[in-house]
Amino acid sequence: KQEVTQIPAALSVPEGENLVLNCSFTDSAIYNLQWFRQDPGKGLTSLLLIQSSQREQTSGRLNASLDKSSGRSTLYIAASQPGDSATYLCAALHTGNQFYFGTGTSLTVIP
Amino acid sequence: DTAVSQTPKYLVTQMGNDKSIKCEQNLGHDTMYWYKQDSKKFLKIMFSYNNKELIINETVPNRFSPKSPDKAHLNLHINSLELGDSAVYFCASTGVGRRHTEAFFGQGTRLTVV
């Protein structure tokens, strides 16, 4: 069974820093990997989707990479802002359209 | 336009009651899901429906029964509610084929059983 882990569980950085969030998965037979953002008391907002054949995706200050062979994905956030404070979740899609979610990284960007 | 909408957003009820949460998606997706997010924020799948047919049914008490009247709707009915059912329930949908499997989530329903 797929297990998805995110490190670190919590991260606090000063505004303006670049940062990397990590996601690892045990079963490399995934269709895609998706990064989400969740604000307190809110739903999940899709940030980036990387298909299994792709290596990375970029959107604005966000860049996500995927290395299936090593079972890893990273989300890079450039020039962090207080508005980036949220919980970030990665999810791996498997056969049967089932998503396995990571445990999340709670990010706080200090002004 | 809200892509995936759930109602109600908040639900407070007493133990033993029966309640339903509704979900609708206007994306034309074929697959819909229900996820439960516990107090530690971990999201676990409960059910998945594809074109109104049950695809995934994880280890969930049979007090939980999903119903899909059409592929745009997936409702969750819960019988005999227990304290441990308190959580946030999320509905989600994905499209057809591997290249269209970006998941969209509703805003969640916070269920509190007292």
Q: For residue range B66-83, what is the model confidence (pLDDT) as tens digits?
A: 999 998 999 999 999 999
* Minimum-distance CB partner of A51 among B92, B99, B110: B99
Chain B touched by A5 (CB under 8 Å): no
Which pair of structure tokens corresponds to residue B25? 């998606």
Judge: B48–A89 Cβ closer than 8 Å, yes or no: no
What length does chain B have? 114
Mean pLDDT for the stretch of residues A12-24: 97
Backbone angles phi, psi at B30, to 5 degrees: -100, -20
pLDDT at A99: 86
* pLDDT surpasses 60 at B100: no
Judge: A46–B90 Cβ closer than 8 Å, yes or no: no
- Residue to test with chain B: of A34, A52, A97, A98, most B Cβ within 10 A: A97
* pLDDT surpasses 60 at B5: yes
Mean pLDDT for the stretch of residues B13-19: 97
* pLDDT surpasses 70 at B97: no
Mean pLDDT for the stretch of residues B6-11: 96
Spell out the residues 6+ positions from residue A106 whose beta carbon is closer than 8 angstroms to its own. Answer: A9, A10, A11, A86, A87
* Minimum-distance CB partner of A104 among B31, B41, B50: B41
Smallest CA–CA distance, residue A103 to chain B, in Å, is: 6
Judge: A36–B55 Cβ closer than 8 Å, yes or no: no
pLDDT at A96: 67
Q: What residues 16-75 of chain B have any CB closer than 8 A to a CB of chain A?
A: 31, 33, 35, 40-45, 48, 50, 55-56
pLDDT at A70: 94
Mean pLDDT for the stretch of residues B24-30: 91
pLDDT at A2: 85
The share of chain B scoring above pLDDT 90, in percent, equals 63
Q: For residue range A62-97, what is the model confidence (pLDDT) as tens digits?
A: 999 999 999 999 999 999 999 999 999 999 988 767
Chain B touched by A46 (CB under 8 Å): yes
pLDDT tier at B98 (50, 70, 90 boundaries)?
A: low
Smallest CA–CA distance, residue B15 to chain A, in Å, is: 23
Across chain B, mean pLDDT equals 89
* pLDDT surpasses 70 at B15: yes
The share of chain B scoring above pLDDT 70, in percent, equals 94
Judge: A97–B102 Cβ closer than 8 Å, yes or no: no
* pLDDT surpasses 90 at B64: yes
Q: How far apart are CA A58 and CA A53, in angstroms?
A: 15
pLDDT at B96: 62
Q: For residue range A23-61, what is the model confidence (pLDDT) as tens digits?
A: 999 998 898 999 999 998 888 999 999 988 899 999 999
Q: How many CB pairs under 8 A join A and B?
A: 62
Judge: B42–A46 Cβ closer than 8 Å, yes or no: no
